[in-house]
Amino acid sequence: MVGVRFDEKPERDFDPAGEQGGIGFGERGGTDHLTHHPGARDEGRQELGAPHYNASLAARHNLAVSLARDLKDSGVTSNVVSPGAILAGPVQEYLTGVASARGWGETWEEIERAAAEDFVPNDVGRLGRPEEIAAAVLYLTGPLADYVSGATIRVDGGTIRSVH
């Protein structure tokens, strides 16, 4: 899932999950909101695709690889940090607000674990933290990543279950 900064308000709804089901971020009537799109996990169906979104993710990776080739011998590398669902204030507010109706518990720990299971199942069982994304970016900008070029680093708690 693509992260959205809530201090940079989009002109229209941002729905990274599309018809597939999941959490979508956006703005309506001047207020930030977070919406859940009914999908496979809620209804026990096989997940529906979001080909336009999935294609954009593949394009992002291919762009990083192509750019890395173009930057050859320049001392500059091109890589992608691919975040999963990240906990931000509005996300926590939304999840806490719907927790009771969904039977997710009362403490934030219970709510987060249940929300992660329902919305974005991953191996860690929680949402990511902004500082975890920052750590990946910091690594890529440091000298220990000089040999990393054209890579996609997933910081998603194991949400994506494929290898590339």
- Angle among Cα 11, 15, 19 to the nearest 5 degrees reads 145
Is 147 a known active-site residue? Answer: no
On the CB side of 24, CA atoms within 13 Å amount to 21
Contacts of 77 (CB under 8 A, 6+ apart): 68, 71, 140, 145, 146, 148, 149, 150
User: Residue type at 150?
Assistant: G
**Catalytic position from the list 53, 94, 139, 147:** 53
Residue carrying structure tokens 């011998």: 73
Residues with catalytic annotation?
A: 53
